Amino acid sequence: MTINNKNKLMTFPRVGKFIIIFFSIAFIITALYSYKLYTYIFNENVKTMHTIILHEGSTFTQVVDTLKANDVLINYKAFMWVSKKKKYPDNIKPGRYLLSPGMNTNEIVNKLRAGIQDPLDVTFNNVRVKEDLAGKVSRYIEADSLSILNLFSNEEKIEQFGFTPQTFSAMFIPNTYEFYWTTTAEEFAERMKFEYDKFWNDGRREKAQKLGMTPVEVATLASIVREETNKSDELARVAGVYLNRLERGIPLQADPTVKFATGNPELNRILNSHLQIDSPYNTYIYPGLPPGPINFPEIKVIEAVLNFEDHNYIYMCAREDFSGYHNFASTLAEHNRNAAKYRAALDEEKIFQ
């Protein structure tokens, strides 16, 4: 009995030792695995700053392939593991997402899965025609140029915004705006209406009323001024010329409106035949302002009309030195002399159209 008990006592410590070793190893393995998972989730995982754009219908494979193609991540296994745990492959959301160094895998997946987009600045200026506008804006947002162009033929929607097809361009004031990449053409138009209403605050509307004009009419005149000069320090003076003519009932006789009527805004020389074109945009034939803007005037030009230079000039003619500046006149005789000098310069340079 004594011997058997002794054997049992010697056996149990040995078994206990194995159990301790087993559990120690299991604990170490579990700890190492837990640490690995922890690093998968919380370690920094962006190698280079990159903006990823995901289209509607993008798959998880495409997301991973895009990241790999641009060498964005440090650990792709971590990204795929965390993504699957958070069910991101089933929740791909289109958008524009900026991934930057310092972000961990958990932050990356949360951002993409929640569709937390990074907005971008959309700038459009120097816009003459709607095709220019559509082309410039479609570079920044998901809406293509055709869908933006279609806005200008949707008369029902244009009327809802409070415009006509002729005046609709006044709603799109060139500037820099913040948009999400997933913006549709209709959302773009709605945002432009919001910005239009914000721009035409009480102060600007009051200035327009003092001129006897509506905001659209101010934009229409600004579109002419914009075509007449690219010199910022001359804008208010040119605006003053046209406002003087409107006040005195003198036809505007603005060459840019004739160019618009011809459909060729690149004309360098207005001929007598152009002046005979029967179009409501031909301000040589029809008095007052044309039916709507002939381009998309920038804010500085609109402001130049609202804050015009007060003077007695009613004539203007491009300078004969082709500097882009103008000679101004208060009398027809003086204007005719200026015009003769300019025509002579055109002839000398052999500019006939």
Give the pLDDT score at 268: 77
- Read off the pLDDT of residues 283-317 as tens digits, 9 standing for 90 and up: 999 999 999 999 999 999 999 999 999 999 999 99
Residue 73: alpha-carbon gap to chain centroid: 29
Alpha carbons 34 and 37: distance in angstroms, whole number: 5
Asked whether residue 340 carries a pLDDT value surpassing 90, the answer given is: yes
Alpha carbons 57 and 60: distance in angstroms, whole number: 10
Alpha carbons 350 and 232: distance in angstroms, whole number: 28
Give the pLDDT score at 271: 83
Give the pLDDT score at 198: 98
Q: Which residues have a Cβ under 8 Å from the Cβ of 170 and sit 6 or more positions away?
A: 163, 196, 215, 216, 219, 220, 292, 293
Cα-based distances in Å from 147 to 95, 129, 186, 187: 18, 15, 9, 11
What mean pLDDT value characterizes the chain?
A: 90
Judged by average pLDDT, the poorest of 10-19, 61-70, 133-142, 296-305 is: 10-19
Judged by average pLDDT, the poorest of 26-40, 68-82, 126-140, 336-350 is: 26-40
Domains present along the chain, CATH in parentheses:
50-114 (3.30.1490.480), 120-199 (no CATH), 202-348 (no CATH)
Give the pLDDT score at 31: 46
193 or 273, higher pLDDT: 193
Token pair, residue 197, equals: 């209403």
Over range 203-214, report the average pLDDT: 98
- Read off the pLDDT of residues 140-166 as tens digits, 9 standing for 90 and up: 999 999 999 999 999 999 999 999 999
Amino acid making up residue 63: V
Give the pLDDT score at 13: 61
Beta-strand runs (E) in the chain = 50-54, 95-99, 120-124, 175-179, 315-318, 326-329
Cα-based distances in Å from 254 to 11, 27, 150: 111, 87, 29
Report the 3 state secondary structure along 253-298.
Answer: CCHHHHHHHHCCCCCCCCCHHHHCCCCCCCCCCCCCCCCCCCCECC
Give the pLDDT score at 270: 83
Quick check: 261 and 277 in contact, CB under 8 A?
yes
- Read off the pLDDT of residues 87-117 as tens digits, 9 standing for 90 and up: 999 999 999 999 999 999 999 999 999 999 9
Q: How confident is the model at residue 8 (pLDDT cuts 50, 70, 90)?
A: low
Amino acid making up residue 138: S
Token pair, residue 35, equals: 């640490």
Asked whether residue 334 carries a pLDDT value surpassing 60, the answer given is: yes
Please, which residues bridge with residue 179 across strands?
120
- Read off the pLDDT of residues 31-47 as tens digits, 9 standing for 90 and up: 445 555 656 687 999 99
Percent pLDDT > 70 in the chain is: 88
Give the pLDDT score at 6: 55
Token pair, residue 100, equals: 């930057």
Give the pLDDT score at 346: 85
Alpha carbons 141 and 180: distance in angstroms, whole number: 7
Beta-strand runs (E) in 120-266 = 120-124, 175-179
Q: Which residue is it, tokens 């006040």? A: 247
DSSP state of 330: S
Nearest to 97 by CA among 49, 47, 44: 49
Token pair, residue 314, equals: 């009613």
Q: Phi, psi at residue 342, to the nearest 5°?
A: -70, -40
